[in-house]
Amino acid sequence: MRDFAQITIHDPISARKPTNFLDHFWVSLLKDPRDLPLMHLTLRISLTLVPLTVLLYLTQGWVWGLVFVAHFYLNHLYFKGPFGLMLHCAIHRPLFKKEYEFLNNYLPWFLAPFFGHTPETYRAHHIGMHHAENNMETDGSSTLQYQRDDMRDFRKYVGRFLLFGVYNLYLYHRAKKRKFFMTRILAGEIVFYSTVIALCFVNFTATFFAFIFPLFVFRIVAMLGNWSQHSFVDAEDPENPYKNSGTCINHKYNHKCWNDGYHISHHIYPHLHWTEHPNHLMQNHQEYADNKALVFENLDFLRVFILLMQKKYDRLADHVVNFNGTFKSKEEIVELLKARTQKMDVAHAVPA
């Protein structure tokens, strides 16, 4: 562990400014000029991954093999994280000004399906349910009823989501009488699966690798991320974002994925701009100390998950930031980490 006073935060607190005509054009459409890097990413994906997907349907033989390798690399290893977290930013803070609002549909309805997202379920789940319920038992992705350092429980968690996630999401919004989300979920699911089924008759192999396989990969990765972000929950105060979420700082992941490591502040202020999270932590470090918030330095959530499943609490404790001398020893941190991963006795069900 390191004391917070000894740490300099290197995660991004600003965004690239416009440097050319095209940059200025995009900024003129955006609500917030700081989102210009998101437009750069959108353009790179549109000009690379989308054409490669088309080529999966048009090519054969060894050429198809080369296209497949390039497509797989860009989709699953290069763009998946940055795109997923760009979409996350965009559903919390729509990118385009009101007069260009129709452009806000480009990410969820056109680009997102290339990464395995059905068009409207992510927003309905993340904004409509997850933040509203704050990882409590009526949240369809709640981690409370699982032993969060146990791979068997993680498999149950993922399996439940894959089989019933969208159905439970629809039931949740129906119980809340939220017709907006119900309509959007149905529209997105029908359009996505109708299109995929039609494309299977054109070229099943291309459709499988372009849309079906990414669907399963995204949903498993999304659940892994949510599990890691909400692995450490204080059973006595589970609704407190400082005590039901974790944060990862000073890692290259935050540079690639728009400060997604700052999950505590994200639950406190869901609409905070991605560049503002490091400052929130620095300005509110006493709150983090008072709540014994768990902030990991030089780890991302994937590494947190791996160490957790290996039950290497001592290694996790080595990366915990000690705010204002809150923790007196490494052993105290290990004890807290173990306590906050314990399964809770809750009735995990969507409201009737």
d(CA 290, CA 330): 18
Which tokens belong to 114? 């290339």
**The pLDDT of residue 225 is above 70:** yes
d(CA 5, CA 255): 22
d(CA 244, CA 282): 19
Q: Position of tokens 């004391």?
A: 3
Q: Are 216 and 163 in contact (CB under 8 A)?
A: no
Task: Give the pLDDT band of residue 351 (cuts 50, 70, 90).
Answer: very low
- Cβ atoms < 10 Å from Cβ of 1: 16
Tens digits of per-residue pLDDT, 260-311? 999 999 999 999 999 999 999 999 999 999 999 999 999 999 999 999 999 9
Tens digits of per-residue pLDDT, 143-159? 999 999 999 999 999 99
Angle between helices 213-229 and 301-309 (to 10 degrees): 80
pTM: 0.94
When pLDDT is averaged across residues 233-255 and rounded to a whole number, the result is 97
H or E stretch at 294: strand 294-297
d(CA 75, CA 218): 11
